[in-house]
A and B are shown apart, each in its own frame.
Chain A
Amino acid sequence: MPSPYAVPRNATAPAPLDTRTRIETPEGIDLLLRPAGLVPRALAFGMDFSFRALILGALFLVFSLFESFGAGMTALSLFLVTWWYTVLFEVLNQGRTPGKQIMGLRVIHDDGTPIGWTASLIRNLLRFVDMMPFGYSLGAISCLQHPQFKRLGDLAAGTLVVYRDTPPLRPVLPDAVALVAPFVMNLDEQRAVLGFAERQSTLSSERTLELASILAEPLQVRPEQAVTQLNGVARGLLGST
């Protein structure tokens, strides 16, 4: 049913309050990406750094058994671990180095596609500049001033570090008799009412009452009954199977 308050379907979405990025796919839907900020990325880097140190330490021990062959292998492994550790993990493990995996991050292209060899090599070679002049200063500055937290390597490679989404838990809806709201609701309002019912288990009863009583007047009930009434409306919106 048409609502006088409905937002036109082709209206531009309001600017989000958070840092989520929308990317339109060829299928006509929007992917929502959540770029990761400086702190989780720095933690992930710290973990990767210690993993690399551990790998190198172990290799050094093994190779020190062989004399110059071992020294050659040490140099070779130092090269591989320094320059290729991140590239190999990012390309072969869905954009995740071990540190990023633990922090729940991944690297993708700007357009949401998985990272490939070229982009990964660019962003990891240019890491050298991000580390200049000391302790990731340039990278940190670039990361903090960019709306999507890109360091210089990300800017050049066209990549983005985003959070991986964890699968949401199914909420339990409070029991109620299905009702029809006594007023017309637009889509956003419908979603808000559903959200109220779904998140009720995580709210305190006082807060639930407080939120519901805002709608007591349009619902034409006393404030104490608003919660039950609103749950009923949500149940009605959800429908029965």
Chain B
Amino acid sequence: MKQALFEARHQAHWQRFGESLDALERGKPLKDSAGTFTRDYRRICSQLALAQERGYSSHLVDPLQQLAMRGHQQLYRHRSPIGSQLLGFVLAGFPRLVRAEWRLVAIASLMFFGSLIGMAGLIQGFPDLVYSVLAPEQVSEMESMYDPQGQRIGQVMERAADDDWMMFGYYIMHNIGIAFQTYATGLLFGLGSLFFLFFNGLMIGAVAGHLTSIGYGQTFWSFVIGHGAFELTAIALAGAAGLKLGWALLAPGQLSRAQALRLAAKTSVQLIYGVILFLLIAAFIEAYWSSMRWPQPVLKYTVGAALWALVIAYLVFAGRNQHAPD
């Protein structure tokens, strides 16, 4: 068949297919040809193959190539695991994933909580150590924030009601930003994640140790214990996700480094979905519960301990049952 005849015979059909692609690309649903789209697409593909095989000119082949490309874009989609299966992920998928990556989680936790507790402990012995990681202005700001005489804790005093919103926004930006950094820098052979885990552990440990040693421990610990359960765990998990990236580059096993990295990224981003969830919960608790002044410290410690127990129990036990919804 000569090219001109081939073109004349199928032109109308290509036109129609192009129009339905236009509609799909603008996000509109197909009007009538919903059932015929795949058939039309396959026909375009076979006509493209024919046109190439018969040596038709590029002004025929190229538009067909483009139609096939655009059809391919509309027909094939990667299923996102999140969204359709959100409930299953929260109830079982995420804690299972954390347990499956328990080695990396353990390393990240050791790095983060180790440096945190170590620094807090050291400051009890050597109080001046706090100035080696924090500037004097930061220290005095921290002191004013957790002054037992303060009205609302965890923020600078002069701010009044309606601050919950502000602090919520601030915590979201600040904490999720840190978690994302900790994760992303894992790509540098895991070194970035290790650094941020260690560094943030050191900072938090210095603040905690310093405030405890000057006698502000009550206000500080009763403030942080509630949301800390979610926030600190989330940062450790973000670090573990980053280490997963780094480990894939260091020890790719049977795969090439690029392949190993792609696989690791797919798994680790699932951890990040969980981390985002944790940090959202933490920001809510931090803005709306931790900063309240009226609950007695005892109540705050009780609730805080319950939250820690909840997080640990969730990560250890949730989704062990095979019949968990997924």
Contact = CB atoms under 8 A, between A and B. Distances in A.
Contacts of B55: 186-188, 190-191
Nearest to B24: A94
Interface in A214-231: none
Given A156-B245, A156-B265, A188-B55, A126 B184 contact: yes
A171 interface: yes
Contacts of B245: 156
Tell me the interface secondary structure of chain A in the complex.
helix
A128 B184 CA distance: 6
B271 to A, nearest CB: 12
A129 B177 contact: no
Contacts of A198: 57-59
B76 A69 contact: no
B2 interface: yes
B180 A157 contact: no
A194 interface: yes
A46 interface: no
Given A122-B265, A188-B55, A238 B166 contact: no
A112 B76 CA distance: 9
B80 A118 contact: yes
Given A29-B48, A75-B172, A83-B177, A239 B4 contact: yes
Nearest to B160: A68
B269 A118 contact: yes
A48 B7 CA distance: 41
Interface string B1-39: 111110110000000000000000100000000000000
Give the one of A113, A125, A171 with max B CB within 10 A: A125
A121 B269 contact: yes
A102 to B, nearest CB: 17
B40 to A, nearest CB: 12
A28 interface: yes
Interface in B76-121: 76-83
B100 to A, nearest CB: 17
Interface string A61-83: 00000011101111110110011
Contacts of B59: 168, 170-171, 198
Contacts of B57: 191, 194-195, 198, 237-238
A120 to B, nearest CB: 10
Contact of B169 (A74, A126, A127, A165): A74
B58 A191 contact: yes
A229 to B, nearest CB: 18
Interface stretch (B62-70, B141-149, B314-322): B62-70
Contacts of A241: 4-5, 7-8
Given A32-B65, A118-B269, A239-B3, A129 B165 contact: no
Contacts of B272: 121, 125
Given A122-B265, A127-B184, 5 more contacts: A68-B160, A116-B77, A168-B66, A240-B5, A241-B5
Interface of A: 9, 25, 27-29, 31-32, 67-69, 71-76, 78-79, 82-83, 94, 108-109, 112-114, 116-119, 121-122, 125-129, 132, 152, 155-158, 165, 167-168, 170-171, 186-188, 190-191, 194-195, 198, 237-241
